[in-house]
Amino acid sequence: MNLPASLRFHVLPDIPMILAGDDLAAIIAASLERLAVPLADGDLVVLAQKIVSKAEGRLIPLHTVTASERAIELAKETDKDPRLVQLILDESSEVMRKRPGVLIVRHRLGNVGAHAGIDQSNVDHAGGDCALLLPEDPDRSAAELRERLHGLTGCRFGVLIADSMNRAWRLGTIGGAIGCAGFTVLDDLRGTNDLYGRELKVTVINRADSLAAAACLLMGESIQRTPAVLIQGLPPEDSAQSARDLIRPLAEDMFR
Amino acid sequence: MNLPASLRFHVLPDIPMILAGDDLAAIIAASLERLAVPLADGDLVVLAQKIVSKAEGRLIPLHTVTASERAIELAKETDKDPRLVQLILDESSEVMRKRPGVLIVRHRLGNVGAHAGIDQSNVDHAGGDCALLLPEDPDRSAAELRERLHGLTGCRFGVLIADSMNRAWRLGTIGGAIGCAGFTVLDDLRGTNDLYGRELKVTVINRADSLAAAACLLMGESIQRTPAVLIQGLPPEDSAQSARDLIRPLAEDMFR
């Protein structure tokens, strides 16, 4: 994909609190209309994982969870609610590291981070403590939202579902992509030449995470009520890549 | 800092190939003038590490480097030029992982990644193989550029020096901040409340890396000749934070 000379990131206005079963595509389409900027094929709709998960009914009341012995033991080691730890284990393929307050796992979708992306902030705990899981298949969710948005708006947007991620050696979270449809997520420049004709041997650019990072910054994490962002300036694309393509294969993991 | 409703990222036009001793601030100021958008306090000037390093004369001809026994041994294990490995060791505090083709170190500035950020692409090897080191003190470079740009333009910009970074569990590089001046790099929300009045216990947002990521995407990595980006829409700030504040303390490293 050719690089543009500028990019614009717009917060989508007036997204209501999302509940299970809400028609997220219709809500986003209505917000895009209110945004009142000319929409174009290639524009990227970035959605916070949280609203996709909520719409898909992934909010789990903890009183419905029974902790296994392993979860109870891990909960003691990490100072956590055993039922929350059970959900983390259910959503993970491997416990990577643990210590009081921290449980780093490999999520079943491949990403390594704290607590399998399970979140308890900005969810309604009125009926008792709850925890919000990642969507079951965020790439599928992104692809479906893309198709519905095409039907509603006539535009071939890319769709990116973003979640805040923590990193081993850097403080503070940044957004990353957990579900993608309709745009290039990895730009593989290996084999092309640099300005001096020297071959680029290792250059692969993670476009999806790069865009997710700035979009999530604009969304905020606390009380902004701005869980969606439109990125304009990207050329139209119809890539078949998905967020799964961003996961480093297990065989290459040097920090297991 | 309050979050804006939109952000604009502009590639800075007509930046020439940078050579040691070039007056980078003057070159950026001239480019900002050609960009012809209204500049404002709080706008963020993002510069590729490469041009800052070049201007500061950090391009090292390999024939001037003598490899130690340790470098020669590591070079055999990793299939690399022993002189390049010597530079990597000189720039690092710790070798984290190694295997053929890959040498992961903790840079003396704290970040963990491949090859201590040393790069051989888009540098002039006409006089023999060269390698480009990170600036000696990128936070200082950012602060100095900020002052010079203030003098030249009258604007209090933030300045961010960005480098592409690799990550343990995700493919493809994204930009990250190695030098920062004049803006909030970490937004610590711990202790504030979410929409439902629940306290945010762990939420710290890495603003600098979030902005560096999208800016670096726009710069490209190969033949674009666009090593600088202006980000508009951020409020004016005068933070004393620097990129060093983004490094997770050694005592918290769970993947050493």
Residue B106, strand partner residues? B94, B112
Whether residue B216 sits in one domain with residue B195 = yes
pLDDT of residue B203: 83
Distance CA A16, CA B68 (A): 62
* Contact residues on chain A for B104, CB-CB shorter than 8 A: 254
Whether residue B111 sits in one domain with residue B178 = no
Q: Which of B8, B247, B254 sits opposite A171 (nearest CB)?
A: B247
- Asked if residue B253 is part of any domain, the answer here is no
The angle at the Cα of A235, spanning B215 to A238, to the nearest 5 degrees, equals: 120
CATH of the domain at A232: 3.30.1330.100
Indicate yes or no: CB of A222 within 8 angstroms of CB of B192. yes
Number of domains in chain B: 2
- Give the pLDDT band of residue B195 (cuts 50, 70, 90): confident
Distance CA B39, CA B30 (A): 13
Q: Convert the pLDDT of each residue in B62-103 to its tens digit.
A: 999 999 999 999 999 999 999 999 999 999 999 999 999 999
Closest Cα in chain A, distance from residue B22 (Å): 19
- Give the pLDDT band of residue B1 (cuts 50, 70, 90): low
pLDDT of residue A231: 98
Whether residue A157 sits in one domain with residue A68 = no
Indicate yes or no: CB of B198 within 8 angstroms of CB of A120. yes
- Give SS3 for B53: helix
Whether residue A81 sits in one domain with residue A124 = yes
Whether residue B241 sits in one domain with residue B164 = yes
Residue A143's contacts (CB-CB under 8 Å, 6 or more residues apart) are: A159, A181, A182, A242
Give yes or no for residue B212 having a pLDDT over 60.
yes
Q: Give the domain-ending residue among B111, B132, B153.
A: B132
pLDDT of residue B112: 96
Q: Are strands A174-181 and B130-132 parallel, antiparallel or unpaired?
A: unpaired
Q: Which of A198, A210, A254 sits opposite B174 (nearest CB)?
A: A210
Whether residue B67 sits in one domain with residue B79 = yes
Whether residue A154 sits in one domain with residue A44 = yes
Closest Cα in chain A, distance from residue B7 (Å): 5
State the residue range of the domain holding A71: 59-132
Distance CA A148, CA A153 (A): 9
pLDDT of residue A1: 57
pLDDT tens for chain A, residues 1 to 256: 578 899 999 999 999 999 999 999 999 999 999 998 999 999 999 999 999 999 999 999 999 999 999 999 999 999 999 999 999 999 999 999 999 999 999 999 999 999 999 988 877 877 789 999 999 999 999 999 999 999 999 999 999 999 999 999 999 999 999 999 999 999 988 888 887 788 777 789 999 999 999 999 999 876 778 999 999 999 998 899 999 999 999 999 999 9
pLDDT of residue B190: 82
Count of beta carbons in the 10 Å neighbourhood of residue B41: 16
